[in-house]
Amino acid sequence: MNPIFFPLAIALSAAVSGLAAPALAAAGHGYEFGSPGKPASATRSIAVNLADNYYEPDAISVKQGETVRFVLKNSGEFLHEFSIDTLAAHTEHRREMAEMMEMDMLTPTGIDPEKMNMDHSKMDMGDMSHTKEAKGMPMRHDDPNTVMLAPGESRELVWKFSRAMEIEFACNMPGHYESGMLGRIDFAK
């Protein structure tokens, strides 16, 4: 497995198995347009329904500096993602997801934890991956801007929009974004 998948793989398995620790921005990966927000700072909530394969609503308006709590529900029968990012970053993320799908780590309906674990053990984690600590390790993943929802699952994402930029919320499961599972984020003046 390509090491570049590692953070994403952890993020996915953590998200779907419900093990995710509160999203913490790992060192070295920031977002020009914002950062994970503190739930207490959220000034409003936006409910987003993740269906097969589209969002409702599929456009939102935010203010620069605002912290928003996204209340997400996957009402569909497939695995979906809610990821806030630039168009270029989404494109790169999609490429990784497609390769994970090819390796069967990811299926249309979920993550294969066995394949994930198997692949972890092949990686440069040495003995760590076999220890209890490794499995229960806080998944301090690199993608605090992304939430993965299994069919039927509900989750939240709190995000602080600090800078107006061209960004979208998107599902990068293979084929989903391409066929229109994305939403516009407008910055209100």
What residue ranges bind another protein (CB under 8 A)? 51-54, 58, 77-78, 98, 108, 174-176, 178-181
User: What is each CA distance from 181 to 49, 56, 67, 85, 187, in whole angstroms?
Assistant: 11, 10, 23, 14, 20
Question: Which CB sits closer to another protein, 96 or 142?
Answer: 96
Residue 87: alpha-carbon gap to chain centroid: 15
Closest CB 173 distance from another protein, rounded Å: 9
The DSSP call for residue 4 is G
User: CA-based Rg of the chain, rounded to a whole angstrom?
Assistant: 16
Please check whether residue 176 is in contact with residue 94, taking contact to mean a CB–CB distance below 8 angstroms: no
Closest by alpha carbon to 81, among 168, 160, 185? 168
Q: What's the min distance (Å) between Cβ of 167 and another protein?
A: 15
Query: 52 vs 142, which CB is nearer to another protein?
Result: 52
Nearest approach in angstroms of CB 143 to another protein is: 22
Strand partners, 86: 167
CB closer to another protein, 53 vs 162: 53
- In the complex with another protein, the residue whose CB is nearer, 7 or 108, is 108
Q: Which of 103, 83, 113, 79 is nearest to 5 (CA)?
A: 103
CB of 11 to another protein, least distance (A): 22
| 6 or 54: CB nearest another protein | 54
Measured CA to CA in angstroms, residue 106 lies from 86, 100, 103, 126, 165 at distances of: 23, 6, 7, 23, 31
Least CB distance to another protein at residue 60 (A): 15
